[in-house]
Every structure is written in structure tokens, then in C-alpha cells.
Amino acid sequence: MPAELRSSSSDSRPPAAASSVAVSLAVASWCARRGWPVHPLAAGRKTPAANCATCRATPHPAAQCPCLPAGRWCHGFHAATLDQRRISQWWGRHPEFGVGVACGPAGLVVIDIDAHSTQPPSRDRILPGIPIADHVDLTGLTSGFHTLAVLAALRGQPSPAEDVTTLRVRTPSGGLHVWYRASDDNRRWQCSSGSSQGRALAWQVDVRAHGGYIVAPGTATEHGTYSPVGRVRDPAVLPAWLAQELERTGHLPAANVPAPRSVPPRAQQAVLAAGGGRSHIQRMLTTVLAPVEACGQVAEGAGFSDTLNRAAYTLGGLVAAGRLTREEAESVLTQSAVEARPGQERRIEQVISSGMTAGLKNPLYTHGGRP
């Protein structure tokens, strides 16, 4: 085992590999002892080892594959195991294999920061859901280290890339894997790609969680070794602010949203006082606020921040079209959000402000034309 994997704690120190024992086997065994299920990666690469000839010839779901019960490694991270005997068989016979860790079963959320210096995408894709005004100078923003640092700064937090309290692994391409442990709240964080048009945390920042895997520290590829940074070998608990950002950007599975409830009485009063009956606006408010209120029926998760952001964006569009004043919209939405997530007033204010600002740029005319 490479010396840089050693730490001062005997409980967390990977064993040094004897000359007769492959480094990959030592790495795999060390990961499994820490409760991280492992699976083989193709020799010199960061992709899973190939399926057997039968599986390649007849594609089928992993759950129906006879290879897995038989102790074979087909289907990538679906084959991940903690069984030391199986690990000894796999890497003992194939010391050229690398080691992958199945993030979901391991309870891990890994922030994968890329360092591919290139031109950034459109401003709405740099930090999804957070508008970046045209006057902001983006000169020098060329990698995931930059976008993650900007996101952290906006939240008044240090960048995860600088988090010395958790396991960090330098990649051969110059990127960084920041390993975190999911908190014990049964939330199944989902994977994403920073270049995705859908779910994404930040440009050039991927997320590895349920449904994905990460290359184990100490694994060597044809491009270099995945090397730990510093002395910490234990993933810290996922920071609360980062969990909020993952929730805001859709990294939780869709919840079973209960049937919409009516607009709260105080919210109705605010709308009616602002302009008489306006039944069409009232109906729209019921539709917009219902998903936010429904989050209150779920203790955690439910994509609350993302739901609130969408509602704020829509109300911002109504304000821009002259259907509501900004004060009315903010009051109604803040009330519904606080009732759904009491104690999160500061975060609620931030999300509403961000979503409303973006929505104000896109007027929403409720009758298909200008008032």
C-alpha cells in the first residue's frame, strides 16, 4: 500500500502491502473493513471491469443476473461486496484490477471537482438556480475549483476543496474527490454531472452518491494514482449547508407529494386586499404554493429548497407582469415556507430572494398577453 495512505490512527490505517500481495487487494480489503462495498475496475482505468461474455451477449438487469449470487463481478457497482473472501478471490486472481467503491451502500456522498481548464458555459449553468448578472466578471473562472469556491463564498462557507476535516483524494487529472458521510436521516442523495442540463450542483462539479461509484484512494490507473491529501482518512459528515445546496439542486428523489391544499387564510387576505377578487390569481397562487406547503407534511427532504426556488421564480414572473406587488408575493410565499420548514427563516429568505430575482426577468402573463 502506498505510504501516503497511512495515517496516525491504527484503526483507519490501510495495511502496507507485502511484496507477495497486490496493492489493489490491500486497498480493496481496507475499504471493505471500513464498510465501503468494493467492486473491480478495469486494469489501468477508472471504469468497471467488463461483464462476462454471457452478460455481454444477452443484456439484462443486474437484479436478474445469475453472476452476482454466484460471486462474480458483472454489472459494475451492483456487484460491490464487503465479503473478504470474495475480495481475495477477485483481486488475488486479478491484481491488475483497480478498486471502485459503491457510494450508496457505503453511505457516501463524494464531491468530484474537475480541473479541466476551459471556457465556462452560459451564466445560468455555472451555478444552477443562482443567477449571475451580466456585469459580473467571470475572467479566470475555468474549473470546478472556481465554481465550488464561488458557491461556498455565497453561502459564507469555506470551499469543500479546502476541508481538512474529511478525506480528500487528488485525481490523476488534477481534480479532487472530497468524501463525506451521509447523515443518518435516510435521505438517498442522487448522483449528478456538473455539465448536465438537468440536475447539477455546479459547473465541473460532479456528485457521486446512490446509483454511482468512486475510485478508491490508492488505486492506480494508466494516468496516475488516486492519492489522499493530508492525513485525514475518515469522511466527515456532509456539512449542513452543502446538504441544503444538494437539496436545492434536485439531488433527492422525487417525494410523494400530497394533494394540494388551499392557500392559507392569511395569504388569501393579502391577495384580496391587494386587488379585490382576482380569482384567477388566487387559483394560480393555490397551484404555486401547494408544493411548498406539501413539503411541510414530510419531516425532511422532499426537495424543499428546489420547490421553494421554483415557486419564487413563478411569483417573480407574476410580479414582473404587474399581477402582484413584490411585497405581496414575498409575504405569501414566506408565510407558506416558514409554516412548512419552521426554524429555517434565513435560508428561506435567501432562496426566495434568488428565485424572485430570476423570475422578475421573465414576466408571466396569466391571460396570454400583456395587461
- Whether 142 and 88 map to the same domain: the answer is no
> Would you call 230 helix, strand, or coil by DSSP?
coil
What's the pLDDT score for residue 275?
40
Tell me whether residue 74 is in a domain. Answer: yes
Paired strand residues for 206: 112
Q: Are residues 30 and 46 in the same domain?
A: yes
Name all contacts of 320-324 with Cβ < 8 Å and 24+ positions apart: 320/359, 320/360, 320/361, 320/362, 320/363, 320/364, 321/363, 321/364, 321/365, 321/366, 321/370, 321/371, 322/363, 322/371, 323/278, 323/281, 323/364, 323/366, 323/371, 324/271, 324/274, 324/281
Calpha distance 9→58 (Å, rounded): 47
- pTM (global) more than 0.75: no
With respect to residue 134, please indicate whether it lies within any of the assigned structural domains: yes
- Please check whether residue 258 lies inside any domain of the structure: no
> How many domains in the chain?
3
Q: Are 220 and 148 in contact (CB under 8 A)?
A: no
Crossing angle for the helix pair 345-359 and 304-320, to the nearest 10 degrees: 40
Residue 254 domain flag:
no
pLDDT attached to residue 278: 47
CATH number at 217 reads 3.30.2250
Structural domain harbouring 126 = 106-238
- Cα–Cα distance, 80 to 82 (Å, whole number): 7
Cell digits of residue 98: 483497480
Q: What are the mean pLDDT values of the chain's consecutive 10-residue runs (371 residues total)?
A: 48 42 89 96 92 85 88 92 96 95 96 87 89 85 93 94 97 96 86 82 94 94 94 95 94 59 44 44 76 68 76 86 80 81 78 86 60 38
Q: Looking at the structure, tell me whether residues 113 and 158 fall in a common domain.
A: yes
Q: Pairing between strand 168-170 and 176-181?
A: antiparallel
DSSP secondary structure string for all residues of 130-168? S---TTS--TT--SHHHHHHHHHHHTT---GGG-TTS-E
Cell digits of residue 214: 468512486
